[in-house]
Structures are given as C-alpha cells and as structure tokens.
C-alpha cells in the first residue's frame, strides 16, 4: 500500500510521520517512510537547489521540472522496489504537491503539469492520500516559529492560499483517494485520528 501525506506549510504532517510509523511497526507492519523532494541521493541534491535562497531567479517552469527530475528517481529507486517487497510506503508529499504548488500556486497550465507528473511518476498513484487541513495563516505562523525557512516557503501568503484552494479542488476531483484530517487540533489528537484512518484503510485492503 502506498500512502501519501499532503498539506500546506506548517500543517504538521512531517512531525506526525515518525510516531505514526513507529506505531505501525509495533503492530507488525513493514513500513518504509520517505519524503519528497528527496528520498534518494539525487533527490536530496535537487532539494538543495530548490530550497536554496540564492536561487531567487528560478522560473516556475524550472521549479516544476526539478521536482519531476527528483520524482522520477524517487519512483524508480525507492517507491517501486519497496512496494514490490510488500512494504507499506508512506511518503511526506508526492505528485499532488506539484499539482497544488506548481499548478494552482504558480498558475501553471494544469493539463500540462498533469502530463509531466504522470511522466515522472510513470503513472504510479498513491492508494490513499491524507490532507492535513490547516488554515494557511496558522500554518505559516507555526512554520515561522519552527524549522529554518527556505526559498519555497518564502512565497507570499496569496500563493499559499491558492495552494490550499488547489488541494481542495484536487480532493473534489478524486474523493475516494483522499481523507481530510483536521490539522488545527492538538498534535496528540491529530496523531490518534491519523492512526485510526490508516488502520481502517489497511484493514479494508
């Protein structure tokens, strides 16, 4: 089973991932945890180019293509082999991030972006995607007090609002793949709800 976590900045998905994986492993599941962009040595190098504040001149098309370059490697080197071994793969971000950020956020042509994403992922889609739903302002505030900022989260608030709206549009287009999780709640409550959603889906498989 291939599960992806999606959300706008500061939604808390990254810090929820490790306790979730530990919980599932204690239950006896083989789980592989990874993140995009990254997850491979080439992907981490691409991540550095994308994040670097010195690259302020980067065009949205360049940004879009770099994410796809990292993704193609990620799918081949990480996701497909782990799924073939029978592991549950959980990725912090995947294809929907490109549709939401580069498509809706940067207002790039969605049809073209979808074709690129499909090429990079060779059509591999997640079985389940969890959307960590948080208000854009709360998320950006959390982020400000948390991790080090990088080029990608320095876009204006309007950009992040388009991304949030974009996610909601994507969910409408494919409701059976998505589950919306209220990420405004206390982190223990979010973890509990996350575990319930995942276990329910694993048991249904």
The binding site for ligand TMP (CB under 6 A) comprises 36-37, 67, 93, 97-98, 101-102, 152-153
Angle between helices 13-26 and 187-204 (to 10 degrees): 50
Least CB distance to ligand TMP at residue 163 (A)? 8
Residue 47, token pair as written in the block = 């991540």
Comparing CB distances to ligand TMP, the nearer of 85 and 137 is 137
Closest-CA residue to 170 (of 108, 71, 97): 97
Comparing CB distances to ligand TMP, the nearer of 120 and 202 is 120
Instruction: Say how far residue 140 (Cα) sits from the centre of its chain.
Output: 16
Least CB distance to ligand TMP at residue 86 (A)? 25
Closest-CA residue to 17 (of 2, 5, 30, 8): 5
Least CB distance to ligand TMP at residue 62 (A)? 12
Least CB distance to ligand TMP at residue 13 (A)? 7
Comparing CB distances to ligand TMP, the nearer of 37 and 126 is 37
Comparing CB distances to ligand TMP, the nearer of 32 and 162 is 162
Residue 124, token pair as written in the block = 């591999």
Least CB distance to ligand TMP at residue 204 (A)? 27
The residue whose Cβ lies closest to ligand TMP is: 101
Least CB distance to ligand TMP at residue 102 (A)? 6
Comparing CB distances to ligand TMP, the nearer of 139 and 179 is 139
Q: Phi/psi of residue 62, each to 5°?
A: -65, -45
**H/E segment holding residue 89:** strand 88-92
- Cα distance between residue 127 and residue 171, in whole Å: 14
Q: How close are the terminal C-alpha atoms of the chain, in Å?
A: 8
Quickly list DSSP for 120-139. Answer: HHTT---SEEEEEE--HHHH
74 cis-preceded (ω within 30 degrees of 0) = no
Comparing CB distances to ligand TMP, the nearer of 29 and 165 is 165
């Amino acid at each position: 089973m291939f599960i992806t976590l999606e959300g706008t900045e500061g939604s808390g998905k990254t810090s929820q991932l490790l306790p979730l994986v530990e919980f599932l492993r204690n239950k006896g599941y083989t789980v592989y945890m990874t993140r995009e962009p990254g997850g491979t040595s080439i992907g981490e190098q691409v991540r550095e180019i994308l994040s670097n504040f010195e690259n302020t001149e980067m065009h949205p098309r360049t940004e879009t293509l770099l994410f796809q370059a990292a993704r193609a490697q990620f799918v081949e080197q990480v996701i497909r082999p782990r799924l073939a071994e029978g592991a549950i793969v959980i990725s912090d971000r995947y294809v929907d991030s490109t549709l939401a950020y580069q498509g809706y956020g940067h207002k790039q042509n969605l049809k073209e972006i979808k074709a690129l994403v499909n090429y990079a992922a060779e059509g591999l889609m997640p079985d389940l995607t969890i959307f960590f739903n948080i208000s854009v302002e709360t998320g950006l505030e959390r982020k400000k007090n948390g991790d080090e900022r990088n080029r990608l989260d320095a876009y204006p608030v309007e950009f992040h609002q388009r991304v949030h709206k974009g996610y909601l549009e994507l969910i409408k287009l494919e409701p059976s793949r998505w589950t919306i999780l209220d990420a405004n709640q206390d982190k223990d409550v979010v973890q509990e709800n996350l575990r319930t959603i995942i276990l329910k889906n694993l048991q249904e498989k």
